Amino acid sequence: MKINMNPLLKWSLLVTLLSGMPLHGAENTTGADGSGAYATGKYRNLFAEAGHSQTEIRQKIDSAFQQLFHGDPNTQTVYYEAGTNANGLLAFTTDIKHRDVRSEGLSYGMIIAVQLNKQVEFDAIWNWSKTYLYISETNHPSFGFFAWQARTNGVRMSQFVAPDGEEYYVTALYLAAHRWGNGVGIYNYKAQADELLSRMRNRPKITGPVPMPWRNTNVLVTAGPLFDAENKMVLFSPSSERNRYSDPSYHLPAFYELWSRWGPKEDAEFWKQAANVSRDYFVKATHPVTALNPCYANFDASIVQRSGNYGTNFSYDAFRTAGNWAVDWSWWGKDAQQRDLSDKLQAFFESQGTNYGCVFTLDGKQLEARHAQGLVAINAVASLSATNPRAKKFVEELWNTPPPDGLERYYEGLLYMMALLHCGGEFRVW
């Protein structure tokens, strides 16, 4: 039977079929690219959903960046220019409270810069990282990676690696390659990302002496890649100085999915599997009622027993974990358990009142009362995967929270800045 069809409708159906998208806007939950923003190109703007205008949102994001990167050097900014070298401008982000520079904050600064199209700041931070933190000595146990800590003059305070820095460096570099194109030398972003990512997965073990100034001696250390091959998990540290375990807040499945598509082809399957392992790990490592997670956990998600109790409780490192699973849901939409986790977490913090603390036992006993702006920020990001209407309260609290200043402005300020981008629909896959 012949059916007469409106030409416009014919064209609409053809485009739908060619694009591979289901009819009636149904979610593509079975495809390799999932059903999130990577597949759809649509990023939720939680601020707009809460009724704020795009003009207001733009002003809030730009104002926060201006304060944290170019504000008063004594009370506001965490970004400082540090002269030039043969590769151009040098700049670092610094932990004001502890008077040091960390690969964590440098890589955060780079990913913020690429999201906001700030290539000058991006290149300056990358130049400082490569100049002072990059370990080029081929017999060094940390060869090919970045020392995690240095003084503001570039003198290394540690010779060890904190893999969360490398994870953000790699992703920021890939995004920069796509957004700005590749330059030469250290500014060939894709080549730099490929080299670093391959080492994170494959670098051979190296044994060598590492200076330990606090012990006034050198120690023989063995270290290899930053991911455990058998468990397909990021390590807290690759060094033989520590037992092998992980940190839930280092797990970034949203990034691993990108690496499986953009990185060296021989490792693509590993990164796909690592993404799924991390999704399961979020569920295993979080408390079944509060959804709070420890700072450190073994590969089976059991608590790491170390001196002191920092790693056993929900504390500063652990702030980030909910943001990691929520962004993974936002970009990929592959694991609905992430929605349940956000609902549980926000239900817990709602039960603590509007001035909740920032350090807790996993079952919810408050240990530190300070209402931390960085935690407020990540609890708002959790709304990307939450289903309960209470999620809007957390977004609105972030909206009403000023950019961090003073001693705590480094870590909490960078989490705050990234949260504005996430909640404003501007933390994107370029």
Identify whether 350 is a catalytic site residue.
no
Count of other CB atoms within 10 angstroms of residue 400: 8
Per the structure block, which two tokens stand in for 170?
């790699």
Cα 397 to chain center, whole Å?
21
Is 93 in a helix, a strand, or coil? strand
Identify whether 164 is a catalytic site residue.
no
Of 211, 199, 206, nearest in space to 155 by CA:
211
Catalytic residue among 317, 328, 405, 412: 317
Report the C-alpha gap between 317 and 257 in whole angstroms: 23
Distances (CA, A) of 298 to 156, 245, 344: 29, 5, 23
Contacts of 409 (CB under 8 A, 6+ apart): 68, 76, 78, 96, 403
Report the C-alpha gap between 10 and 43 in whole angstroms: 28
Give the DSSP per-residue string, 290-347.
Answer: T----S-B-TTSPBP--SSSTTTSB-TTTHHHHHHHHHHHHHH---THHHHHHHHHHH
Catalytic residue among 95, 100, 104, 328: 104
Contacts of 219 (CB under 8 A, 6+ apart): 209, 210, 212, 241
Structural contact between residues 123 and 76, judged by C-beta atoms closer than 8 angstroms: no
Question: Where are any strands of DSSP class E within 131-270?
Answer: 149-150, 206-212, 217-223, 227-228, 233-234
Report the C-alpha gap between 273 and 39 in whole angstroms: 19
Structural contact between residues 140 and 206, judged by C-beta atoms closer than 8 angstroms: yes
What single letter denotes the amino acid at residue 428? R
List, by residue number, the catalytic residues.
104, 317
